[in-house]
Amino acid sequence: MRPVLQATHIEKSFNVQNIRTRALIDVTVDICRAEFTLMIGPSGCGKSTLLAILSGMSSPDQGAVHVGSFNLSELTDEQRDLFRLKYCGFIFQGFNLFPALTALEQVQVPLDYMNIPEDEARERALLALDHVGLSKRKHLRPAEMSGGEKQRVAIARAIVKRPVILFADEPTSALDSENGRNVIEILRATAKETGTAVLCVSHDMRLLSKADRVLQMEDGRLLRDERPNAVSQSTERDVP
């Protein structure tokens, strides 16, 4: 199993009303390619803080995050932006789509910022929408879509960049069970077909049976790290 991301001895604390809270205590974890990794744990256990640090959106107080040859803690804000632009995809609980843009345009936007030519961007956006089963709904705006469709557009927007790592924060908690199942199937398929490392943070216990690997957190510590099933390997894309 080849790790694409390695975090070692991560510590993070916050001051809330003059009380120092240790959100993460000596967390060491790696995330592997082509795996659908599920991170679970009760509210306030530090899952989201860890996700923010692993994705380079915030810095740890101590410890290091290595992705390929990058050490995220040593990068400037601009370099971290560039890193995320090139290698990371994100899916959030709120779908956060632009009300004015059609599904196709929502998916095309990240590619525009990567300076990908218009025609190619459009083609890739169409492929991504097809991958999430929405190619027939490409002309719709968010107000005309169901919650499940919106989340699938958000997934298409995240995978259209062909990210090396895909971070998902509670992607199913705003969805009914059927749409939630769909979304998880898409994330799982993305990991298998493209070799992307998918790290999904969730409360949703229904996802346990779908995960290749389960990380359980509690009180800022990683308690359990299990692989219920065998995992296939892929070598499609790597961080240099």
Partner 1 sequence: MISIARKTLLHDWRRFLPAAVAVAFSGVLMTVQGALLLGIVSANALYVTQSSADYWVGFPGTQSVELGRTVPADTAAELYAEAGVSHTEPLLIGSGDWRAAQGGGVSVTIIGIESAADAKGLDRVIPRALRNLLSAPGAIAIDAADAGKLSVKLGDRAEINGRAVELIGFIDGLRGLGGVNVVASLQTARTLDTALPADGGATYFLYNVKRAGEGESIARRLNNRGSPPRYEVWRAGMLADMSTLYMLLDSGAGIAFVFATLIAMLIGAVITSQTLMAAVAGTIPQYATLRALGVPFPRLRKIVVEQAAWVGLAGLVASLVISLTIALLAAIYRVPFDLRISVIAGASGVVLLVAMVACMLAIHRLRDADPASLLR
Site residues (vs partner 1, CB under 8 A): 48-49, 51-52, 55, 57-58, 78, 81-86, 88-90, 92-94, 96-101, 105, 108-110, 112-113, 118, 141, 157-158, 161, 169-170, 201
The values of phi and psi at residue 42, to 5°, are -70, 165
Q: In whole angstroms, how far apart are CA 125 and each of 24, 107, 109, 233?
A: 37, 5, 9, 26
**CA dist., res. 94 & res. 217, Å (int):** 23
Cβ-based nearer residue to partner 1, 118 or 238: 118
Provide the 8-state DSSP code for 65. Answer: E
Question: Is 132 buried (19+), middle (13-18) or exposed (0-12) by CB count in 10 A?
Answer: buried
Helices marked H in the chain? 47-54, 77-87, 103-113, 118-131, 147-159, 177-194
Question: Which residues on neighbouring strands pair with residue 12, listed in sequence order?
Answer: 24
CB of 121 to partner 1, least distance (A): 9
CB of 43 to partner 1, least distance (A): 9
For residues 151 and 95, is the Cβ–Cβ distance under 8 A?
A: yes
CB of 231 to partner 1, least distance (A): 26
